Structure 1
Amino acid sequence: MRLPVRIGLVDTEEKVVELLEWDAASYDALPLPHSRWGAGVIDRLALTGDETVVDLGCGTGRDTERLLDRLPHGRVVAVDGSAQMLDQLGARIAARADRVTAVRADLTRPFPAVVHGDAVMSVATFHWIPDHATLFQRIAATLPTGGRLEAEFGGAGNIAGFLDAFRRAGGPPDDDPWDFATPEQTASALSAAGFRDVDVRVVPDPAVLEPGEQLEAFIATVLLPATLRTLQPDDGRTLVRRTAAELPEPVIDYVRVQVSATRA
Structure 2
Amino acid sequence: MTNFEFDGEKYKKASKHQKEWGEKILSTLELKGSESVLDLGCGDGALTKELSEIVPAGRVLGIDASLGMIGEAKKLQMGNLAFSVQDINGMDYEREFDLIFSNATLHWVKDHGKLLENCRNALKPGGTIRFNFAGDGNCSNFFAVVKAAMRRAKFKGYFCIFEWPWYMPEIGEYKKLAEKSGFEEISVWEENADRYFADSGEMSRWIDQPSLVPFLRLIPDDSGRREFRDAVVKEMIERTKQADGTCFETFRRINVLARKK
Question: TM above 0.5, one fold?
Answer: yes
Corresponding residue for residue 179 of structure 1: 167
Contiguous gaps of at least 5 residues in structure 2: 241-246
Letter in 1 for 2:87: D
Contiguous gaps of at least 5 residues in structure 1: 1-14
Corresponding residue for residue 89 of structure 1: 73
Distance in 2 of aligned mates of 1:211 and 1:238: 22
Distance in 2 of aligned mates of 1:181 and 1:230: 25
SS in structure 2 at match of 1:50: coil
SS in structure 1 at match of 2:125: coil
Letter in 1 for 2:85: R
**Structure 1 residues 77 and 114, CA, compared in 2 at 3 Å: closer, same or farther?**
farther
Equivalent residue for 2:87, pick from 106, 119, 128: 106
1:155, 1:255 within 8 Å by CA — same for their partners in 2?
A: yes
Letter in 2 for 1:251: F
Matches within 5 A, 1:194-213: 194-213=182-201
Deviation at 1:210, TM superposition (A): 4.1
Distance in 1 of aligned mates of 2:167 and 2:253: 12
Deviation at 1:212, TM superposition (A): 3.7
Q: Does 1:127 align with 2:107?
A: yes
Letter in 1 for 2:97: G
Deviation at 1:211, TM superposition (A): 4.1
The C-alpha deviation readout for 1:168-221, integer Å capped at 9, x for no partner, is 234656642001012222222222121111111111212322444332221111
Deviation at 1:78, TM superposition (A): 0.9
**4+ residue runs over 4 A deviation:** 171-175
Aligned residues: 244
**Structure 1 residues 80 and 236, CA, compared in 2 at 3 Å: closer, same or farther?**
same
1:45, 1:148 within 8 Å by CA — same for their partners in 2?
A: no
TM-score (norm 1): 0.85
Corresponding residue for residue 233 of structure 1: 222
Deviation at 1:251, TM superposition (A): 2.1
Q: Does 1:153 align with 2:153?
A: no
**Structure 1 residues 130 and 107, CA, compared in 2 at 3 Å: closer, same or farther?**
same
**Structure 1 residues 115 and 223, CA, compared in 2 at 3 Å: closer, same or farther?**
farther
- Please provide the CA RMSD for this pair: 2.1
Letter in 2 for 1:156: D
TM-score (norm 2): 0.86
**Structure 1 residues 258 and 44, CA, compared in 2 at 3 Å: closer, same or farther?**
same
Distance in 1 of aligned mates of 2:195 and 2:120: 32
The C-alpha deviation readout for 1:208-257, integer Å capped at 9, x for no partner, is 22444332221111211111122233222222222233232122211111
Corresponding residue for residue 141 of structure 1: 121
Corresponding residue for residue 257 of structure 1: 254
Distance in 2 of aligned mates of 1:157 and 1:178: 12
Distance in 1 of aligned mates of 2:94 and 2:84: 8
Distance in 2 of aligned mates of 1:101 and 1:246: 40
Distance in 1 of aligned mates of 2:211 and 2:93: 31
Identity %: 24
